[in-house]
Amino acid sequence: MSLEKRIIEWSASRPPWQRAILRRVALGNVLSEEDYDQLVDALLLSKGIWDSNFDLKSLPEVKFGDPPVNIVSISDIHHINALSSKEALTFETTGLTIVYGDNATGKSGYSRILKRIARSRHKEDVLSDVFNDTERAKPTAAISVKVGGEEMPIAWPESSRPELQRMLFYDDACGNAYISTEYDFPYRPSALFVMDGLIKACIEIRKRVEAKLEENAASTKALPVVTEEVKGSEIGRFLEKLSGSSSLQALDSLTEKLFSSSETIDNLRSEEARLLASDTTKERQRLARLASKFNFLRTHVEGISQVLGNMAIASFQDERARLKSLEEAAALLAKSFESEPLPGVGTSLWKELWESARRYSTTHAYSGHPFPVVEEDSKCVLCHQALGNMARERLRRFESFVKDDTLLHLHEAQTNWNSRTEKINQLPPAEPVV
């Protein structure tokens, strides 16, 4: 497996921000101080700001038949040392281009730009003009390159081309870097330049993160000490567990309780002074009496809540609606007896009379026989007259009416309603607490 593929395979295990740095270094982009600051801010906020798609296409690779890469010119220079942007520095696409001049004419400034756009063992920061530029001035330049026969402009440092990494830059500083730096092997593969960029970026990011940690530590305030007197209170328990993950809603709730409380600091201090000056035995007895009364009040309120609470009231309303519905259904059934000789059949009084007749029949008149007894020689248990065919049929209809499910459910609903209203009527009055 080639070194390039090993680097790509290894990078897959790295976090996205490191793969983004590898991609930018591979494409020849120079990371500025501002870039490092933005990346640190993005890491602290868990946001991504760069493209992290790092693959073999990102790495420069020289193959047989690849078109040649040439720098045509460097122009429109702004805020790079003291270089003038009036005329462009041009290069021949063939042969050798020699750039010469006196000291301080800008040769080193141009070489710093070339080190940034090509591969170089030694790189230098491209600085602005310390005499004329402000801190916000950013070095920029227009670079014209030719890849094969196609000439294309590049606005440095915002954009670059991966083909530029096929160019190599060498100067005296690069020679010193090769000679003075020790390696385990004499030849260093060119693809490792992306690892150099990642290492430098990690060092810069670490310095900034450590600086922010120190700044944050210096600005923090010590948590309040929770005294023994307040440890058992709601506020004390909250302060003991106070951390970065504490709920803001819980803090807002406690704050609202404090502001809405009728007890002020002065009142509490007065109460404390009274307690310190009072007889502890008498105070204990007074508090015990208050506790007993409050317990009674709590029990009383709980009893009322069971009878008149929201759930109880809702159930009470449902029971009343059911009773009303059953009464209306029973009234419809009773209308079927409007043609009887006497009115009132099916009413409550009539049903009481019917049930009395039932008890008399099953207990005395026709003991052991189901009510109503309508045999040929049977007699009416109310008038003691012999039953004719119409009378026997009428008694059967009456009994069928009484045993109808509607009436049975009505009787059950009336019993429940009477029981519940009786509970409300029997609620005891509350005694005064103090």
Same domain? For 21 and 90 the reply is: no
Question: How many degrees, rounded to 5, is the angle at CA 187 between CA 183 and CA 191?
Answer: 100
**143 belongs to a structural domain:** yes
Q: How do residues 157-188 score in pLDDT, each as one tens digit?
A: 877 777 777 788 888 887 777 777 655 444 55
Q: Which residue, 63, 71, 60, 64, is CA-closest to 165?
A: 60
Q: How confident is the model at residue 430 (pLDDT cuts 50, 70, 90)?
A: low
How far is it, in rounded angstroms, from Cα 324 to Cα 413?
9
What's the rounded Cα separation, in Å, for the pair 335 and 351? Answer: 15
* Structure confidence by residue, pLDDT tens digits, 189-203: 667 778 888 898 899
The Cα 86–Cα 104 span in angstroms is 17
Q: Average pLDDT for residues 405-420, to the nearest whole number?
A: 70
* Residue of 76, 33, 25 whose CA lies nearest to 208: 33
Is residue 48 in a domain? Answer: yes
- Is 433 inside any structural domain? no
Structural domain includes residue 177: no
Question: Would 235 be classed as within a structural domain?
Answer: yes
Task: Return d(Cα 134, Cα 228) in angstroms, integer.
Answer: 58
Does one domain contain both 231 and 246? yes
**424 or 71: which leads in pLDDT:** 71
In a domain, 249, yes or no: yes
User: Are the beta carbons of 70 and 91 closer than 8 angstroms?
Assistant: yes
State how many domains the chain has. 5
Per-residue model confidence as pLDDT tens digits over 304-362: 777 677 777 777 777 777 777 767 666 766 666 666 667 776 677 777 777 788 887 88
Percent of the chain with pLDDT over 90: 3
- Of 331 and 114, the one with more pLDDT: 114
pLDDT tens digits for range 263-302: 667 777 787 787 777 777 887 888 888 888 888 888 877 7
Q: Report how far apart, in Å, the C-alpha atoms of 315 and of each of 206, 323, 409, 416, 423 are.
A: 67, 12, 17, 11, 14
Kindly state the tokens that stand for 261. 């409380």
Please check whether residues 44 and 187 belong to one and the same domain. Answer: yes
Containing structural domain, residue 282? 267-307
Mean pLDDT of 127-132: 78
Rounded Cα gap, residues 426 and 419, in angstroms: 11
- DSSP letter at 191 equals G
My answer on whether 296 and 329 are in the same domain is no
- Domain limit, last residue, from 167, 194, 210: 167
Residue bearing tokens 């009040």: 297
> Which of residues 131 and 78 earns the better pLDDT score?
78
| 382 within 8 A of 350, measured Cβ to Cβ | no
pLDDT tens digits, 86-99: 788 898 888 888 88
Q: Which of the four pLDDT bands, split at 50, 70 and 90, describes residue 206?
A: very high
Question: Within this chain, do residues 189 and 54 fall inside the same structural domain, yes or no?
Answer: yes
Chain centroid, CA 34 distance in Å? 32
Q: What is the mean pLDDT of residues 388-402?
A: 76
Residues 325 and 415 occupy one common structural domain: yes
Nearest in space to 130 (alpha carbons), one of 139, 121, 122, 142: 139
> Residues 174, 176, 181, 182: is their CA dihedral positive or negative?
positive
From the CB of residue 91, how many other CB atoms can be counted at a distance below 10 Å?
18
125, pLDDT greater than 60: yes
Least confident of 38-52, 132-146, 218-232, 280-294: 218-232
In this structure, the answer to whether residues 106 and 245 fall within a common structural domain is no
Mean pLDDT of the 114-118 span = 82
The CA–CA distances, whole Å, from 138 to 39, 208, 369, 400 equal 18, 21, 115, 104
Q: Tell me, yes or no, whether 430 lies in a domain.
A: no
CB atoms within 10 A of CB 248: 7
pLDDT confidence of residue 185 = 47
pLDDT of residue 127: 80
112 & 77 share domain = yes
Q: Could you tell me if 203 and 235 lie in one domain?
A: no
3-state secondary structure 241-259: CCCCCCCHHHHHHHHHHHH
In this structure, the answer to whether residues 232 and 214 fall within a common structural domain is: no
- Are 137 and 153 found together in one domain? yes
What SS3 state is found at 228? coil
Helix, strand or coil, per DSSP, at residue 161: coil
DSSP class per residue in 291-355: HHHHHHHHHHHHHHHHHHSHHHHHHHHHHHHHHHHHHHHHHHHHGGGTTSSSS-TTSHHHHHHHH
46 in a structural domain = yes
Shared domain for 366 and 279, answered yes or no, is: no
